[in-house]
A = this chain, B = another copy of it.
Amino acid sequence: MATIKDIADKLGIAVSTVSKGLNGASDISDQMRQLVLDTAVEMGYASKKMKTTGNRKVCILIENMDYENIDQFGYEIIVGFKLSAARRHWDVSVVPSNLTMQTAEKFDTYMLKNGYSGAFLLGFTLHDDWVKQLNKTSVPTVLLDNYIERNNHVGYVGTDSYEGIDLAVDHLKSLGHTRIAFLNGSKNSMVSEQRYQAFVGSMAKHDLNPLEELIEYGYYVPDCAKYHVPKFLENGATAIICASDLIASGVIAEVMKQGLKIPEDISVVGFDDLPIAAQLTPSLTTIRQDRIDLGKSAFLLLDGLIHNVTISKLLLRAKFIKRQSTGMCKTQ
């Protein structure tokens, strides 16, 4: 593990300058500080520094996810995380991230500079620069719904899609549905891939045929429904499982636009159980992700990583919530 002297030697500067850079003293230039921090990170000094600091500060970095009010997916996750963190006397900063931040400096440098002992990343994708850097980071980091291979400092928290989708297929089969469609979220997302596998696996387990013409990738927005719902209906779907409640809200609108009734003609199932699910007409049968628990678990995982317990994955149970958007299959 690199020492302050190693960093000073490498840069050909005084130990005191390195120390000033690491501690954010005001009498060195910003450029010099950046150089010191980048070198500290590169030489593996960062993690040691962060572990021995007395600070108990972690951050939630958010991108591409709404979180400002309770109707939005990120809100309760942050609440849950803060609740668990507060119980263990950790400070939590919530930091909206963007492309500029990620190109301005490396993830490890950002964390070191701000004195954070760990991070929870919400809404990031595998294409984000900071996520790409996680293969090598030594900063304890937790990702929602994304998995980094072979790095003991990074963990993944999420909801068990398999069991959730399996409960939905179970329910629909018990209502007589066999031609069940699946409108997934975005391609190239780990969680979409998991839900696809879950759907195909659960259909097979229930002796039902997962039909190619009834499975589509969309996006995690309501609008994607209008491209896929007409095709599902043409192909004889009697029920549609959606990879999010937002997609399901679009599906409900599109099915009604086609002059069909829910659940009399078509059953619809969502995923997430956002507050909107209960407010839709008809109210949405859905697979609940407990977002408070996701946040609490993310902190548990991060706390583990900070204390060198190398947790790789932590999955929560999905809960099945029956409401009004699913009913007996007519064409049975």
Residues of A in contact with B (beta carbons under 8 Å apart) = 149-150, 152, 160, 163, 167, 290, 293, 296-297, 300, 304, 309-317, 319
Find A313's partner among B152, B160, B310 (CB 8 Å cutoff). Answer: B160
Chain B residue numbers with a CB within 8 Å of A309 are 293, 296-297, 300, 316
Report chain B residues within 8 Å CB of A296.
Answer: 304, 309
Give complex CA distance A163, B290 in Å: 28
A310 and B304 within 8 A (CB): no
Q: Closest residue to A154 on the B side, CB-wise?
A: B317
The residues of B that contact A152 with a CB separation of less than 8 Å are: 317, 319
Assuming the A-B contacts A149-B163, A163-B150, A167-B150, are A312 and B316 also in contact, with contact meaning beta carbons closer than 8 angstroms in the complex? yes
A310 touches B300 (CB 8 A): no
Known contacts A310-B317, A311-B315, A311-B317, then 18 further A-B pairs from the complex at CB < 8 Å, ordered by chain A residue = A149-B163, A150-B163, A160-B313, A163-B312, A293-B310, A296-B309, A297-B304, A297-B311, A300-B300, A300-B304, A310-B319, A311-B314, A311-B316, A312-B317, A313-B313, A313-B314, A313-B315, A314-B315
What is the CA–CA distance of A290 and B293 in the complex, to the nearest angstrom? 26
CB distance from A153 to the nearest CB of B (A): 10
Nearest-CB distance from A95 to chain B (Å)? 25
- A142 vs B167: C-alpha distance when bound (angstroms): 22
A310 and B316 within 8 A (CB): yes
Q: Closest Cβ of chain B: how far from A321's Cβ, in Å?
A: 13
CA distance A313 to B318 in the complex (A): 12
Sample of 13 A–B contacts (CB below 8 Å): A150-B167, A150-B317, A152-B319, A160-B312, A160-B313, A290-B310, A296-B309, A309-B316, A311-B314, A311-B315, A312-B315, A312-B316, A312-B317
Closest beta carbon of chain B to A265's beta carbon, Å: 30
- Most B C-beta atoms less than 10 A away, residue of A152, A160, A293, A309: A309
- Minimum C-beta distance from A272 to chain B (A): 16
Q: How far is the CA of A317 from the CA of B304 in the complex (A)?
A: 12
- Beta-carbon nearest neighbor of A150 in chain B: B163
Closest B residue to A307 by CB, please name it: B296
B-side contacts of A160, CB under 8 Å: 312-313
Find chain B residues with CB under 8 A from A310 CB: 290, 293, 316-317, 319
